[in-house]
Chains A and B, each alone.
Chain A
Amino acid sequence: MENMIKVGMADLAVCKYPDALTTLGLGSCVGIALYDPVTKVSGLAHIMLPDSTKIKNNQNIAKFADTGIEELIKQMIKIGASKTRLVAKIAGGAQMFAFKTSTSQANDMMQVGARNVEAVKAVLKKEGIRLLAEDTGLNYGRTIEFYSENGQLLIKRVGKESKTI
């Protein structure tokens, strides 16, 4: 019997075949799905902010791109993944609200999605993990489901057709 494991905001989880991972309603946050195609060990992180070193209160490591991905890799290795085989798919990082006349503060707030995506890519590169596919940016929310069976990432959107990357 396969389970669909729910990953919340600023949260991460790993699983083995046949389980699947999901995170609901990604906005400016980014969902990072890592996969080891040989052992089918899968991991999903839902990060909120780009960089833990820029924030004083950074105990929650799943909240940040840098520490979140690092921890995800660690947990995947623990249940049988090999780091050299890991591949990644990412989704999210949307700009949910648009302001026509914006103060610098509002601007900063609205750009966080793009900065999250950028940070995630940089961390993946640093860790030597290949990014296979992405569905990022734009202005809509996403629910994602990640299947350990084949490493496919299903992306659901409001009023648009779902797609698989």
Chain B
Amino acid sequence: MANINLEDMNSMQFDVLKEIGNIGAGNATSALAQLLNIKIDMSVPNVALLPFKQVTQSIGTEEDVVVGILITLDGDVNGMMMFLMDLKSAHHLVNLLMGADVNKQDEFSEIELSALNEVGNIISGAYLSSLSTLTGLSIISSIPSTTIDMAGALLSVPAIEFGKIGDQVLLIQTQFGENDLVKGFFLLVPELDSYNKILSSLGL
């Protein structure tokens, strides 16, 4: 049984987590691309162990207003997944989905928020089902919840979960974008025990 120590992870474990981020986000990105019928590129995932103070800085500043979609994970893997987009991207995404004028930037209506939630549902489903297939672990995800607020405030939610076990957060983060129009991040934040399960299911 792998016993992961966040402060002292070897490069092999790091690489595996990176690959998990890669496969999961790859599937999620292609689900999103299919949904919107556009081409979306994604970055090589960044796996980083960050002190709380730096978590938000990996995405922007604490006060940037962003759309956050949170899904909690249950089953063999506990924890949460978060999907973050800046406002401009969220508007673009919703406008594409709803067939509205792509430059529309009004406040989100109820239906548009619900559409964003559904986007969260589809891409997190794609992310998690690939993770589940890869590891053979069962992962049950909650219905997503969408909030628009300061990045720091949204990220405090996964950070607090991590705060219970340590002073650092392990982020598996992937950035995706379509010609700068849709830009966002996936964050996979499993609990410590779940890291062990994920890594040992892959024979590490």
A→B interface (CB under 8 Å): 8-11, 24-29, 48-49, 55-57, 59-60, 63, 94, 96-103, 105-106, 109, 112, 139-143, 158
A99, B161: Cα distance in complex, Å: 16
Taking CB as reference atom, which chain B residue is nearest A56? B165
| CB neighbours of A97 from chain B (8 A) | 68, 70, 145, 147, 157
User: Which chain A residues border B190 with CB–CB below 8 Å?
Assistant: none
Q: Pick the contact of B63 from A10, A25, A27, A100 — CB < 8 Å?
A: A25
Answer yes or no: B152 CB below 8 A from chain A CBs: yes
Q: Can you give 15 contacting A-B residue pairs, CB < 8 Å?
A: A8-B52, A10-B167, A25-B63, A27-B153, A29-B160, A48-B156, A49-B164, A57-B166, A57-B167, A94-B153, A99-B143, A101-B142, A105-B72, A141-B153, A141-B154
Q: B163: which A residues are within 8 A, CB to CB?
A: 10, 48-49, 55, 63
Q: Which of B's residues lie within 8 Å of A, judged by CB?
A: 52-53, 55-56, 61-63, 65, 68, 70, 72, 74, 78, 80, 142-143, 145, 147-157, 159-161, 163-167
The answer on a CB contact under 8 Å between A141 and B149 is: yes
A99 to B55, CA, bound (A): 24
Would you call the interface of chain B mostly helix, strand, loop, or mixed? mixed
Measured CA separation A63–B162 after assembly (Å): 11
In the complex, what distance in Å separates the CA atom of A27 from the CA atom of B68? Answer: 13
Q: Contacts A9-B52, A97-B147: A29 and B142 contacting too (C-beta < 8 A)? A: no
Contacts known (A9-B52, A10-B52); A139 close to B150, Cβ less than 8 A: no
Most chain A CB inside 10 Å of its own CB: which residue of B62, B74, B163, B166: B163
**With A8-B52, A25-B62 in contact, do A109 and B156 touch (Cβ < 8 Å)?**
no
Contact B157 A48 (CB under 8 A): no
A139 CA to B56 CA, complexed, in Å = 19
Which residue of B55, B68, B78, B154 has the most chain A CB atoms within 10 A of its CB atom?
B154
Enumerate chain A residues within 8 angstroms of B53, measured Cβ to Cβ.
Answer: 8-11
B164 near A55: Cβ-Cβ < 8 Å? yes
Say yes or no: A27-B152 contact (C-beta < 8 A), given A9-B55, A11-B53, A100-B143.
yes
A27 touches which of B65, B143, B156, B166 (Cβ 8 Å): B156
Nearest-Cβ distance from residue B27 to partner chain A, whole angstroms:
24
The 10 lowest CB-CB distance pairs between A and B, nearest first, are A25-B152, A141-B153, A27-B153, A27-B156, A25-B62, A24-B62, A8-B53, A141-B150, A25-B150, A9-B52
Pairwise interchain contact A143-B72, C-beta atoms closer than 8 A: no
Query: Chain B's nearest CB lies how many Å from the CB of A20?
Result: 16
- Chain B residue nearest in CB terms to A55: B164
Closest CB in chain B relative to A147 CB, distance in Å: 19
Would you call B65 and A48 a contact (CB within 8 A)? Answer: no
Which A residues touch B145, using CB under 8 A? 97-99
Rounded to whole angstroms, the CA-CA distance of A47 and B157 in the bound complex is 13
Contact present for B160 and A158 (CB under 8 Å) = no
